[in-house]
Amino acid sequence: MTTTFADLGIAPALGEALTALGYEEPTPIQREAIPPLLAGRDLLGQAATGTGKTAAFALPLLQRLPPGAPPSSRPAVLVLVPTRELAMQVAEAFHRYGRAFGAQTVPIYGGQAFDQQIRALRRGVHVVIATPGRALDHIRRGTLDLSGLVSLALDEADEMLDMGFAEDLEAILAAAPAERQTALFSATLPARIITIANRHLKNPVRVLLEQKKVAAGKLPKTRQTAYMVTRAQKVAALGRVLDLEMPTLALVFCRTRTEVDGLVESLGGRGYQAEALHGGMTQMQRDRVMKRTRTGVLDLLIATDVAARGLDIEQLSHVVNFDVPESPGAYVHRIGRTGRAGREGVAITLAEPREHRMLRNIEQVTGQKIEIARLPTVFDVRAKRLEVTRASLREAIIGEGLESYRVVVESLAGEFDVMDIAAAAVQLAHEATAGPAEEESGPPIVDMSPPPERAVRASAPGAYTVHASAPLVSGPRASAPKASAPRAGERPVAPSRAKRRTAGMSRIYVGAGRKANMRPADLVGAIVNEAGIAAAAIGGIEITDNFSLVELPDESVDAVVTALRATKVKGKRLTVRRDQATRRPT
Ligand code: AMP
């Protein structure tokens, strides 16, 4: 039986707000935490980001706001969070959920002008979301009055202690009215957290999420990979990953209906046959989608957990988690749908840097490694496609039926080099199946994965380095064959060459390509003349429609980038930068 928000005691007005957000059912932490918090109990909860913990306390605390109470300079709810980013995020969540009650929320954090915060507090609010240091400053100045506090929540308490806020927390807790309700959430429960809980929580309900190890035999044979990207770039990153993986059929899991619908639209625009499956659909709509799935028409089935329950699809090659699932159990459940019948399945997870902890947790529970991989670049995608073409050619050569085509080769051989004839034939074959080469457009996708040496322990915020700025590629997917002849006299450069990394060499990116009439000679000329590099030292050059890549000795890259930025190439100032993707070990 499915538990609904209403079953947990959530009022219809709030429930409607959740439906509008596309939430289909409560997450485990919400199931456990909402009823006792609604009943006014104190609570100690172990939950990391991504589990739905914000709603687990925001919903009941909002519902417990004194009915009809106007916003006041004595707020009813105070939430303490470790960082400014989280303050904004949690405030945004309270705002979205609390609209139903007309709840006024304000975030206050260090680094923002006091005046502005004081004005907001004076105007009156119901909920204050604050970082501990700034909250304490306001309490001491008399600009944050805790005397009307009904509930106090500590979010990511372990993080607040790690950041040195222990004394501030003690001081704030001591300043809050004794009869308030307190909820403490923390991803881990070290002794210091337990001490705070023992001192400041009254007979708390404890909510510890399942940490049961999963029996090894229960997990299918599945390649598990995660990519770290920001929320804003997830759709573009997913497109790139799918282009590389070329799934027969992928089941893509999203948290909400709204996300499902959005993805269907954007991936459909990329040329994928994608269909939605979520709780808002009628049985007839579901049946139609399942029929299309089973007959092999679809590339992607995009679903919420609820809608995908009980689905058993034989031909599933990939499971994609558009977000890290809310619990290790949900992860195991999801990825268990691929890798059936002894075949190797593929499970791909897109994670935001802040969800890194959830990934680690899943690894611990499953005892299996989730490899954090570098986002594929446009060149990786092209190289993969060429690989597919190469494999098909191999089959054609080994197979029979070439006889009738030999005549064509022979008739051209008098005029052209056989190698050129073969290359032209490969090009036509490639473009007929793989489609035209993709074009660069939009902002670059930033790979947020931690550098390799930190991959294992990077759980603290800030432990990530942003690297790689591979150009974002969008455009039609490789299914629609389109003729795109190369310009006269120009031989296409094999993209695989761009991927081959020569030791001691790195690439630079120059923001102009074929469309700007950029030719290899222009690049060589500019590099030789402006940076004083010998032409012979310059490695491979690749020119695409919109940009060019030039391979250079590692030690001369910085000098060339500086020199080219300072000059005009073909009469224009160009974007020039080191192409980060070449520097990282693969
Ligand atoms: P949190 O763990 O609070 O950072 O939440 C992670 C994400 O899950 C947020 O984007 C929420 O909007 C989303 N979320 C929270 N509860 C639910 C739910 N019951 N169903 C779907 N998405 C949810």
Any idea what the CATH number is for the domain that residue 489 is in? 3.40.50
Within this chain, do residues 229 and 187 fall inside the same structural domain, yes or no?
A: no
Q: What is the mean pLDDT of residues 234-244?
A: 92
pLDDT for the residue numbered 480: 35
pLDDT for the residue numbered 517: 82
The 8-class DSSP code of residue 568 comes to: -
The answer, yes or no, to whether residue 474 has pLDDT greater than 90, is: no
pLDDT of 340-378, one tens digit each? 666 678 999 999 988 988 999 899 888 889 999 999 888
pLDDT of 319-339, one tens digit each? 999 999 988 888 988 988 887
pLDDT for the residue numbered 365: 86
pTM of the entire predicted model: 0.69
Top pLDDT among 500 and 336 is at 336
Within this chain, do residues 237 and 151 fall inside the same structural domain, yes or no?
A: no
Atom of ligand 1 nearest to the CA of 26: 19
The CB of 327 under 6 Å from ligand 1? The reply is: no
The CB of 325 under 6 Å from ligand 1? The reply is: no
**Domain limits at 395?**
219-248+316-476+484-493
CA distance 309 to 56: 23
Last residue of a domain, one of 493, 519, 544: 493
The CB of 53 under 6 Å from ligand 1? The reply is: yes
Last residue of a domain, one of 208, 234, 266: 208
* Domains identified in the chain, total number: 3
Q: Which residues contact 144 (CB under 8 A, 6 or more apart)?
A: 75, 108, 121, 128, 130, 135, 138
The CB of 469 under 6 Å from ligand 1? The reply is: no
CA distance 61 to 43: 12
The answer, yes or no, to whether residue 138 has pLDDT greater than 90, is: yes
Q: What is the mean pLDDT of residues 196-200?
A: 95
pLDDT for the residue numbered 216: 55
The CB of 255 under 6 Å from ligand 1? The reply is: yes
Cβ proximity of 46 and 189 under 8 Å: yes
CA distance 173 to 168: 9
Within this chain, do residues 18 and 155 fall inside the same structural domain, yes or no?
A: yes
Out of 7, 18, 23, mutate this one to test ligand 1's pocket (max ligand atoms within 8 Å of CB): namely 23
The CB of 33 under 6 Å from ligand 1? The reply is: no
Residues 464, 469, 473, 478: what is their CA dihedral angle, to the nearest 10 degrees? -70
Within this chain, do residues 34 and 180 fall inside the same structural domain, yes or no?
A: yes
Q: Where are the beta strands (DSSP E) in 147-218?
A: 151-154, 181-186, 205-208
CA neighbor of 464 nearest in space, from 381, 359, 348: 359
Residue 103 lies inside a defined structural domain of this protein? yes
Residue 108: its H or E element:
strand 105-108
Residue 213 lies inside a defined structural domain of this protein? no
pLDDT for the residue numbered 502: 66
Within this chain, do residues 192 and 229 fall inside the same structural domain, yes or no?
A: no
Top pLDDT among 49 and 217 is at 49
Residue 253 lies inside a defined structural domain of this protein? no
Residue 547 lies inside a defined structural domain of this protein? yes
Q: Which residues contact 105 (CB under 8 A, 6 or more apart)?
A: 91, 94, 95, 98, 125, 126, 127, 128, 129
Top pLDDT among 425 and 568 is at 425
Residue 142 lies inside a defined structural domain of this protein? yes
Cβ proximity of 550 and 502 under 8 Å: no
Within this chain, do residues 233 and 353 fall inside the same structural domain, yes or no?
A: yes
Within this chain, do residues 430 and 514 fall inside the same structural domain, yes or no?
A: no
CA distance 96 to 98: 6
* Interior angle at CA 122, CA 117 and CA 124, nearest 5: 105
Phi, psi of 335 (to 5 degrees): -75, -15
pLDDT for the residue numbered 143: 96
Spell 477-515 as b/e; 16+ CB within 10 A means b: bbeeeeeeeeeeeeebbbbebbbebeeebbbbbbbbbbe
| CATH code, 542 | 3.30.70.330
Residue 328 lies inside a defined structural domain of this protein? yes
Residue 230 lies inside a defined structural domain of this protein? yes
Within this chain, do residues 183 and 232 fall inside the same structural domain, yes or no?
A: no
Out of 4, 57, 89, 256, mutate this one to test ligand 1's pocket (max ligand atoms within 8 Å of CB): namely 256
Within this chain, do residues 54 and 155 fall inside the same structural domain, yes or no?
A: yes
Within this chain, do residues 196 and 223 fall inside the same structural domain, yes or no?
A: no
Within this chain, do residues 235 and 104 fall inside the same structural domain, yes or no?
A: no
Last residue of a domain, one of 448, 466, 493: 493
CA distance 228 to 313: 28
Beta strands at 318-321 and 345-351: parallel, antiparallel or unpaired? parallel
CA distance 528 to 380: 29
Which of 17-31, 82-96, 446-460, 496-510 is predicted least confidently?
446-460
pLDDT for the residue numbered 412: 92
- Distance from the CA of 231 to the center of ligand 1, in angstroms? 13
| CATH code, 180 | 3.40.50.300
Per residue, what are the HEC states of 201-264? CCCCEEEECCCCCCCHHHCCCEEEEEEECCHHHHHHHHHHHHHHHCCCCEEEEECCHHHHHHHH
Give the pair of three-digit tokens for residue 504.
């001691």
pLDDT of 403-458, one tens digit each? 888 889 999 998 888 999 999 998 888 887 765 555 545 566 777 776 554 333 33
The CB of 49 under 6 Å from ligand 1? The reply is: yes
Residue 424 lies inside a defined structural domain of this protein? yes
Within this chain, do residues 459 and 528 fall inside the same structural domain, yes or no?
A: no
327: exposed, middle or buried (C-beta count within 10 Å: 0-12, 13-18, 19+)? Answer: buried
Cβ proximity of 38 and 63 under 8 Å: yes
Beta strands at 222-228 and 151-154: parallel, antiparallel or unpaired? unpaired
